[in-house]
Structure 1
Amino acid sequence: MVEQNSRSIRALYPGTFDPPTLGHISLIERACSLFGDVTVAVAKISGKDPLLMYEQRINLLRQIFSGNPNVKIIGFTGLLVDCAKKTNSNVIVRGLRTISDFDVEYRMSTINNIVMPELETVFLMSEPEYSFISSTFVKQIAREGGDISAFVPGAVLELLKELEENGHNI
């Protein structure tokens, strides 16, 4: 096995980010401290009821990380391994909140490694203060008119407020 300096590793953090949460932001920042380049790959949602449109999620993350040259935000469709090849990424970063997350992520990691053996997956445990946050719960609270300010960055709150003011259902 060839040793690599951690700064030569190109990390890919995929997700739907619907909406981006403080847990996502924390994980991206922590990945930046470990790897030279972090590409955040926003997946187009199929079969779900999105809160935010694909382009809105990409633009939000670009806005949030505009001052961080180590973070690149892209959109993707299709297989994650194809996205990894296109971005020359050699590590996938995944966050784990609970043991049930590990079960799902481990299986996906194994499949990705069979399809692309040179692609490694690194699991980062969520910080305790974010371990209960999920985009699904945040969406549910937002749609019921609840306060999500403790769970999402200010840019997300601003966009949702703007959408509501313009008559869009959340």
Structure 2
Amino acid sequence: SLSPIFSDHPIVLGGPGLVVEIDESKFGRRKYNRGRLVEGHWVFGGVERESGKCFIVEVEDRRENTLLTILQQYVAPGTTIMSDGWASYRRIPDLGMTHLTVIHSRNFVDPLSGAHTQNIESLWSALKRFMRKMGVMNTSKEFFPSYLAELLGDGSVLSQI
């Protein structure tokens, strides 16, 4: 079972011999609200395979500097990172981490390395399912982090994974 780590939590995932799957996902959908397009919320996260611990952070963008700065805050050097082929991840080895990728357009598990991101993908699916059920998927920027924290904090989402 997974346990959440929020942005003010000091714990770090991973370390030598441990695997952390990372991914970014968009929550919310396009809709027009009083004439303007509401795009939703980008979230970046990771799941440590061995313990099930995870971190989830709302981000303004998916640029390399943004994601790698967060990765350094939450994941220890020496960790094996598994991700998709998103270009912003290409400098992960510069952080002292091993980086394995799976290209989802080709396969879900890389046939050579065994890399996959199925745990973090499951976390996104469960979170989105619960947020839709609670009617908070398209909530405002102001309230999104508190809904996310509440859903993760009670354990009901994480117990589904």
Fold match, TM over 0.5? no
The TM-score with structure 1 as length reference comes to 0.34
Where is the strand percentage greater, Structure 1 or Structure 2? 2
The TM-score with structure 2 as length reference comes to 0.35
